[in-house]
Amino acid sequence: MKTERNIDWSFGLVLVSAVLCTLVSGILIIKSYHHFLYPFIDDIDFTRQLVVMAGAPAFLSLIGFCIASLAFIRKEKIKPIIRAVVMIIIGLSIPFSMGSTMLAGFASPFGSMTKNIDNYLVVDPYLRTMDYRIFPERIPESAKEIEYFYRYRHCVDADYDVYVEWKLSKEDFEQEKKRIMTLYPDLTITPNEYDQTFIDYRISYNSGYGGYYFKFVSFSESTLVVRYVFAVTSYDAKGTVRPFFLEKMEREKGTACFVKNASA
């Protein structure tokens, strides 16, 4: 009788632990999502797996409770065995669930993204120490036809992508070229690979097995349009995370764009 009572207590403790585990995992997932300034789901498949893993202990505890409480299980010798098996299964699911949730802290399926120009250079805390001098401190008064894109994700290493495009007055256009030349006197000037009406002022223009690292400004003398690119992207489970400006070129040109001359 005492042994059965101990099993009942242990069984109840495992069920409560499973529910608490799911609750803690859910809180950690929500906290991870709201850790970003402009949160969005970056990897929907990983997010689904995370939710399943987080909810597994509570789901199994519910199934186990139902099985152990079925009226047709009348034999006293069978009940302890069933409860012991259920406890083992649930017990194994708890560390697996917590481990998967903790992994999300290092390889989060979430990220930060905005296209709202009102958020110009308002970045996530992790990125606030980066050098953003390539961009003007403020949006020029003559700027129009503005396009802005910001994305940040942290999958082991930080990936970030900031893209700005606008059309300036002739005076602001020339001043911006001088500003960039003064800041980066050793930059490389070369025609843009995808649009020959633009000239690239390249501070960094590299790609390789580890991903992309781009920091450059493109000027179009004919349209007075200026494009700023500051992107560091690497690999995820699906391959290379391509910078926004390459995706934009592909949409405009209707063909795949690859880095042909990554030497600067």
Q: What pLDDT is recorded for position 72?
A: 47
d(CA 231, CA 215): 7
Q: What pLDDT is recorded for position 79?
A: 63
Residue 57, beta-bridge partner list: none
Write the CB contacts of 62 (distance below 8 Å, at least 6 apart in sequence). none
Q: What pLDDT is recorded for position 2?
A: 46
State the alpha helices, DSSP H only, in 132-205.
Answer: 170-183
Q: For residues 203 and 184, is the Cβ–Cβ distance under 8 A? A: yes
Q: What pLDDT is recorded for position 132?
A: 92
Taking alpha carbons only, the member of 158, 153, 157 closest to residue 112 is 153
Residue range 53-108, pLDDT digits in tens: 777 776 766 666 676 665 445 555 666 666 667 667 666 666 766 666 666 556 67
Q: Which residues of the chain have pLDDT under 70?
A: 1-15, 58, 60-65, 67-84, 86-87, 89-94, 96-107, 155-157, 207-210, 234-241, 254-264
Taking alpha carbons only, the member of 100, 89, 114 closest to residue 48 is 100
Q: What pLDDT is recorded for position 205?
A: 82
Q: What pLDDT is recorded for position 13?
A: 67
Q: What pLDDT is recorded for position 162?
A: 95
Q: What pLDDT is recorded for position 216?
A: 95
Query: C-alpha dihedral over 171, 176, 179, 183, to 10 degrees?
Result: -170
